[in-house]
Amino acid sequence: MKTTNQRLLNWVDEIAALCKPDAIHWCDGSEAENTRLCNQAVEGGTFIRLNESKRPNSFLVMSDPADVARVEDRTFVCPTDPREAGPNNNWRDPTELKDTMRQLYDGCMRGRTLYVIPFSMGPIGSPIAHIGVELTDSIYVVVNMRIMTRIGDEVLKALGEDGDFVECLHSVGAPLDPGQKDVPWPCNADNKYISHFPEDPSIWSYGSGYGGNALLGKKCFALRIASTMARRQGWMAEHMLILGLTSPEGEKKYIAAAFPSACGKTNLAMLEPTLAGWKAECVGDDICWMKFDDNGQLRAINPEAGFFGVAPGTSMSSNPNAMRSLYANCIYTNCALTPDNDVWWEEMTDEPPAEALSWKREPWTPDSGTKAANPNARYTAPARQCPVIDPAWEDPAGVPISAILFGGRRPSTVPLCFEAPSWQYGTFLGTIQASETTAAAAGNVGVLRYDPMAMLPFCGYNMGDYFAHWLSMPGRVPNAKMPRIFFVNWFRKSDDGRFLWPGFGENCRVLKWIFERVSGQTEAVESPIGLLPTPGALDLSGLAIPEEDMAELLAVDAKAWLKDIPAIRAHYEKFGEAIPAVLRQELDALEARLQAAAT
């Protein structure tokens, strides 16, 4: 169907006049349309059809080596006032940047089709959902957006003739002359811009065809733009998984969790509990939008409809439910191709294949000395295929959030789990969330890298103001029922380098304690940093963890914490006067408690 929304029609006409495509196609979201586009991409050499008996209706794409990941240095947040963007974003003057990009967009779609993708972030019609429209010249984007969001005619119906939407413009920046043969992965390696204009709000992307640079519903809309909308409108757009946890008695609670990269976020989202009778179900693995309902309950939706996961390291041992989600209807990007037309990536199997075609389309063997798959290789899979998808994952009303988890990769100092006694202190803990650098990383070992609320690359405005927005949430509505906030650390190590906690499915034991804390079923003991499990409160049945290891896992070393205080102060100084005064007060109070405990 074509829309009656005049603003949308005018915008499409405006962009078509600027970008000069050969044709315009309004995406209806149908299976027939998807099949036709996938066949077209196979014929053009962009898609490789995978083995139908192993991975039905699935395709592999190998990108240009110059276009393999998010490009932080080419990502811009452009309010009129640079102070609004904050030190956490690259700022450009919006008028000047739009002028620059208009010159790049002029004629950029010659020889290509302009695809109009109406999409809903969240269940169509949900009071928590929002609509966007992406204009793109990439079939790869259309097919991936169909998996990652809800697209097509149903969205246009919900939009109506006067509904609001976020404008999302994307081009690979590779116009074709008459008769010029296309390449499998068109892009413009020398001119990449991923630009956000929160005052419109709109997103303009140019030059990259990859991932979050091109699938503009992903980090661009769902976090950078949505966070600015949430600030204005009084809700929360967060980089969090959403997990449903059901006890053996049938009681259910929902938990959201924000972790920096490499801290097991997707693994936790698709947890297989080891405790008998406990059930975990996935609402979302990456993004969480939360709004208050009429009763003051904070309710969450996963605004996405698919998983855009990092493939390397994903296996039946690390995340069996992710692997089981990939049986069909998937797009793989920058994985290796095996001789039987299947995909492979590092750590997917115990033994690598004897030979493969690498992501660079070069012959590969285990002796090649290179990676078969790109370290940022991806799978795009429909969330509905996850075997532990929560029955309420598409409930328009959202699910009620009882607890929020923060955490980082900390081999020392931070205990396995503890609770914040208040929302204010919990917010403070989120602002100092960090991971330690390891020997594998460049630079010094043990340096803290702060990633507040796992939002440092994704907050669409000044992070100091973002912290203030968090602090304001309890006062947003009468009788606000705020989730309890907890901090977890699965990565504590012994002095000889052993992980003290087994992790993975055993993390359900920590979730059980959190569940029982929220339900008022278990006690906690006060410490200088927060509320810790009492002795015996963690269910360790069937686990052979030595008592001294558990003591270490739950120990609070006040002197070690005090060593972190200068780094936290330096972290705060990056945001200057934007840091709310109460957070500095919380830091001072924490330091005083630690000094008292250390003497």
Cβ-Cβ contacts under 8 Å for 505 (sequence gap 6 or more): 271, 272, 273, 274
Task: Check 38, 263, 282, 335 and give the catalytic one.
Answer: 263
Phi-psi domain of 111 (left: phi exceeds 0; alpha: psi -120 through 50; beta: other)? left
The amino acid sitting at 150 is R
Q: How far apart are CA 386 and CA 327, in angstroms?
A: 10
Q: Which residues pair with 499 in a beta bridge?
A: 493
Count of alpha carbons within 13 Å of 426, Cβ hemisphere only? 26
Cβ-Cβ contacts under 8 Å for 37 (sequence gap 6 or more): 139, 142, 143
Among 434, 401, 166, 155, residue whose Cα is nearest residue 289: 401
Q: How far apart are CA 277 and CA 247, in angstroms?
A: 7
Token representation of residue 253: 């609670």
Q: How far apart are CA 57 and CA 63, in angstroms?
A: 20
DSSP states of 391-443: TTTT-TT-EEEEEEEEE---SSSS-SEEE-SSHHHHHHHHHT-EEE--TTSSS
Cβ-Cβ contacts under 8 Å for 249 (sequence gap 6 or more): none
* Displacement of CA 251 from its chain's centroid (Å): 28
Nearest 5 degrees, angle CA 580-CA 582-CA 583?
70
| 417 counts as catalytic | no
Q: How far apart are CA 133 and CA 115, in angstroms?
A: 10
Are 375 and 312 spatial neighbours (Cβ–Cβ below 8 Å)? yes
Give catalytic residues, as residue numbers.
Answer: 263
